[in-house]
Amino acid sequence: MDLFVRQRFSPPLDKAVVAADWRRRGYSCDGFSDPPGREWRDFVHSTNELVTVVEGRLELTVTGSTYRVEPGDEVFIPRGAVHSVKNSHTGTTRWLYGYG
């Protein structure tokens, strides 16, 4: 599986469409919002994770590779991978994540 897929979903994103797609692939789907500049550093999960941006922009680093994630892009984070997330947008960024 590719770690980064540009425009996996067509903006504007519909959470129900993303949730249905992820459910078919064995993932949950929940939402999160971060204010400008918010960072989450060096997380590690025991399950695989998917992330997509609904509105705004994230900078997501997975095992040393950094991706600029915009609405519709999807990032796959393998279980056990060290990863960090930063809201690199000037406003609030809304994003979806799922574990599988």
| Residue-wise pLDDT tens digits, 48-73 | 999 999 999 999 999 999 999 999 99
Q: Domain 4-99: which CATH class?
A: mainly beta
Q: Which residue has the tokens 């400008």?
A: 36
Low-confidence ranges of the chain (pLDDT < 70): none
Residue pair 98/28 in contact (Cβ under 8 Å)? The answer is: yes
- pLDDT for res 38: 97
Strand partners of residue 94: 33, 55
- pLDDT for res 17: 97
Residue pair 87/55 in contact (Cβ under 8 Å)? The answer is: no
- pLDDT for res 2: 87
Query: What does the domain layout of the chain look like in residue ranges?
Result: 4-99
- pLDDT for res 1: 72
